Amino acid sequence: MPDPTVPPTPPVPLDALLAREDLGLRRIAGPDDPGLVVHWVHTSEMADPYPYLLGGELLLSAGVHIPDGAGPGYFDAYASRIVAAGGAALGFGVAPVHDTVPDALVEACALHGLPLLEVPPRTTFSGVARAVWRLMAQARLAELRRVTEAQQGLAAAAGRPDPVPSVLRRLAGRLDGWAVLYGPEGTRLAAAGREPGEEVRLALAGLADVVRPDVAPGRDLPGTAAGGAGRPASAADTVAGTRLTAYTLGAGRGFVLGVAAPRQEPGDHTIASVAAVLLSLLTGEHQSGRGAARSAALVRLLLGSTPEDVAGLLGGQEWRVVHARPDGPAPDHVAASALGAALGSALVDADGRTVRVLVPGDRAVEALPGWTLGVSAAVGPREWPAADTQAARALARARATRAPLVRHGGRPALTDLVAGPDAEAHARALLAPLAAVPALPETLRTWLSLHGSWDRTAVALSVHRNTVRQRIARCAALLDADLDDPDVRMELWFALRRG
C-alpha cells in the first residue's frame, strides 16, 4: 500500500467518526483498529476508483457502479483497488439504490482488511464530509493550543537559573519522552525524562553524529531537513518502536538536541524545534570560554581600554561586520539573536530595522532567507569603525540592487577620495531643496540605483509608476537640474550615498 499524500490538516480517528450519534455510522467489516485515521472524504461511483484516490480517504459510495448480477469477483476487485490506492475506509450508503450492503462486498472488505461502514438512509454523504471537516478543525485548534502552551512553558524554563536542564525537562514532559543535549564531541551533557533502553540510546547518539556539522555525511536516514536562519537542521528515525529526532543547535558549534518519544503527536516537531532554538541561544558562544573572554574584552573597552589592548582576549584574529535588514517587519531581540546564531556569533546589536553582527573573519558569511546582508572586509579591532561603514555601504548597495548579499570590495571607491565631513556637508547643501519631503530623496536614490527605470522603481517602493514620475519631476524642479545629464546623476548619487 502506498503512503498517503498527507494534507496539512490533522487526521481524524475513524473511531471518532463512528462515535458521532448524529451520523449513525456502523462498522460491518474490516479491522477494529483504534489507530485508523481519515485524512479526507471522497465520493465516487466509479467501478475502479484507484486513479482518483490520493490515499487516506474515507471513500463514500451508494453502489451505483455495481452492475446487475455482480458476483464475488467484482467486489473482490473493487475492494482490492481501494486498498491498493491507500484508501482508509469505505462508507456504503443504503437506499435509494441498495436496501442493504451487499454480502459479497462485506466479505471482500473483510478479506482485504478494508474497514467498511454502513451509512444509514437518514445520513447524507455531505453530512459525513462536514463532520470530518469539523473534527479536523477541532483537532487543529487543540494542536495550536498545545503548541502555544508548550512554547510558553519552554520560554519560562529558559528564564530559570538552570535554563538548559529546565528546557530539557519541560520538553521531555511535553513529549512524554527523553530529551538529551550532546556536546561537540558527542558527550552527553544533560538529559531529562524517562531514559530509554541501550538500543535506543545508541541509535539516538548515532543520529546526533549524522546531523552534527563537523561530521561528514555518510548515512541515509528516513527523514532529514535542512535548517535556515534560526531554524535547526534535523534528522529522524524509528528504532524499537521509538521515534528518534536530532536537531543541530547554532551554526557549526557541534551541539545537538536529541529526542526519543514513544509516539509522535501533531505539533511535536514544532515544540521540539522551539526548544532547539532556545537551546541554541543558551549554548551560544557567551557560554564558552571564548565567549567569556569576549565579554571581558567588551567590559574593558567600556572602561577605557583601546581595541589594541583587548585584541589578545579576542583571539588576535580579524573580524567582519555584517549589517542585516529583514524582508518583513523590524526584528525583535529573538529574531536578532537567531540571526547571530545562524552567522555563528553571539555579538549582535539590533538597532531599529538594522541588525549588526560582529563575525570572526575566518567564518564564511552566506546569504540567508528573509534577510538582506552587507558584509565588510575582514579587519583587526583597530579598523572596526571603518568596517562598520563598509558593511553599511554594502547593505545600501544590496537594497538598491535587490541582491540578498553584497560584500565590500577591496578596490578603492571614489567616495574614499573625499574627506567624510566635507562629503557630508556637500551632500546636505546639494540635497537641501528635497529635505522637506522625505519621500523625494528616497525615490531619487532608488530611481538612480535602478538606472532610471520607472517600473522597477515603482516595484521597489511599492508605489504606482506615475507616482515615481511625479516625484522625479518634482526633484528635477526643486534641484533645478537636468536628471538626464550623466554628470548630474553622478553628483546626485554621490550626495545621496553620503547624505
Report pLDDT for 41: 94
The residue among 262, 283, 304 that closes a domain is 283
Q: Looking at residue 35, which CATH number applies to its domain?
A: 3.40.1390.20
Report if residue 164 sits inside a domain. Answer: yes
Query: Is residue 155 a part of any domain in this protein?
Result: no
Domain final position from 395, 411, 427:
411
Q: pLDDT for 247-294, tens place per residue?
A: 888 655 678 899 999 887 778 888 988 888 888 877 764 445 556 666
**Full-model pTM:** 0.47
- Residue tagged 560584500 (cell numbers): 407
CATH of the domain at 478: 1.10.10.2840
Tell me whether residue 328 is in a domain: yes
380 and 424, same domain (yes or no)? no
**Mean pLDDT estimate for the chain:** 83
pLDDT at 413 (0 to 100): 54
Q: Does 272 share its domain with 360?
A: no
Question: Same domain for 48 and 124?
Answer: yes
In a domain, 361, yes or no: yes
- What's the pLDDT at 222? 44
CA dist., res. 135 & res. 142, Å (int): 11
Q: Is residue 241 assigned to a domain? A: yes
What burial letters (b/e) apply to 133-165, b meaning 16+ CB within 10 Å? eebbeebeeebeebbeebbebbeebbeeeebbb
Q: Which of 363, 395, 411 is the last residue of a domain?
A: 411
For residues 385 and 295, the model is more confident at 385
Which ranges of 159-262 would DSSP assign to H, the alpha helix? 163-175, 198-211
Q: What mean pLDDT comes out for the span 141-170?
A: 84
3-class DSSP state of 418? coil
For residues 250 and 279, the answer to whether their CB atoms sit within 8 Å is: no
Q: What is the CA radius of gyration of the chain?
A: 32
Number of domain units in the chain: 4
Choice between 290 and 339, residue whose per-residue pLDDT is larger: 339
* Beta pairing, strands 57-61 & 40-43: parallel
Shared domain for 353 and 442, answered yes or no, is: no
Q: Is 5 a domain residue? A: no
Give the H or E element holding residue 497: helix 486-498
C-alpha dist (Å) from residue 79 to 73, 115, 348 = 10, 10, 61
Quick one: angle between helices 163-175 and 268-282, nearest 10? 170
Q: Which helix (H) or strand (E) holds 178?
A: strand 178-182
Is 143 inside any structural domain?
no
Q: What is the band of 23 on the pLDDT scale with cuts at 50, 70, 90?
A: very high
For residues 106 and 166, state if they share a domain: no
Same domain? For 351 and 266 the reply is no
- Residue 260 vs residues 125, 182, 243, 263, 298: alpha-carbon distances, Å: 41, 13, 6, 9, 40
Collapsing DSSP to helix, strand or coil, 287 comes out as helix
Residue 298 lies in a domain: no
How confident is the model over 181-217, as pLDDT tens digits? 888 778 788 889 988 889 999 999 888 888 876 543 4
CATH of residue 239: 3.30.450.30
DSSP SS3 for 59: strand
Are residues 405 and 437 part of one domain?
no
**Judgement on whether residues 255 and 166 belong to the same structural domain of the protein:** yes
Does 130 lie in the same domain as 44?
A: yes
pLDDT above 50: residue 223 = no
Res 380: pLDDT: 82
Query: Does residue 68 sit in the same domain as residue 165?
Result: no
Other C-beta atoms closer than 10 Å to the C-beta of 179 total: 26
Regarding whether 405 and 466 lie in a shared domain, the answer is: no
Q: How confident is the model at residue 21 (pLDDT cuts 50, 70, 90)?
A: very high
- Measured in whole angstroms, how far is the alpha carbon of residue 2 from the centre of its chain? 28
- Which residue's C-alpha cell is 481501494? 82
Full residue range of the structural domain in which residue 406 is found: 317-411
Say yes or no: 49 and 86 in one domain.
Answer: yes
User: DSSP secondary structure string, 357-415?
Assistant: EEEETTS-----TTEEEEE---B-GGGHHHHHHHHHHHHHHHHHHT-SEEEPPSSPPGG
Strand 89-93 versus strand 57-61 pairing type: parallel
Query: pLDDT tens digits for 117-135?
Result: 999 999 999 999 999 999 9
